[in-house]
């Protein structure tokens, strides 16, 4: 974003976003962020499937998942759906 562009906080309600969502870091919408307990996580990947923002990625080279906080909006769906209860929503 250049310094002349408005952030999403400055555009009027029902304003139209003027560029691709991949260029628009929406992660600062969140109040709560998902934090994973590595001991509890079974790497089942259900959270990857359920995240509506595609903000959880499977990293084959690590054999693990990774949250992308640039796009996570803090909806808590991943925490709700995790069968191992490995994700806790923590205040940002």
Interacting positions 9-68 with ligand SF4 (CB under 6 A): 34, 36, 41-47, 51, 53, 55-56, 65, 67
Residue 26 CB, shortest distance to ligand SF4, in Å, is 9
Residue 43: how many CB atoms within 10 A of its CB? 14
Three-state secondary-structure class, residue 29: helix
Beta carbons within 8 Å of 82's beta carbon, 6+ residues apart: 41, 46, 47
- Tell which residue, 22, 16, 32, has the closest CA to residue 70: 22
Residue 36 CB, shortest distance to ligand SF4, in Å, is 5
Q: Which is nearer to ligand SF4, 4 or 76 (CB)?
A: 76
Q: Which residues bind ligand SF4 (CB under 6 A)?
A: 34, 36, 41-47, 51, 53, 55-56, 65, 67, 72-78, 82, 84, 86-87
């Amino acid at each position: 974003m250049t310094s002349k562009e408005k952030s999403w906080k400055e555009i009027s309600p029902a304003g139209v976003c003027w560029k691709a969502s991949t260029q628009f870091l929406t992660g600062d919408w969140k109040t709560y962020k998902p934090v994973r307990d590595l001991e509890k996580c079974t790497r089942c990947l259900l959270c990857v499937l359920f995240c509506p923002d595609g903000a959880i990625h499977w990293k084959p080279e690590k054999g693990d998942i990774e949250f992308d906080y640039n796009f996570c909006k803090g909806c808590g769906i991943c925490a709700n759906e995790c069968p191992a209860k490995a994700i806790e929503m923590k205040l940002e």
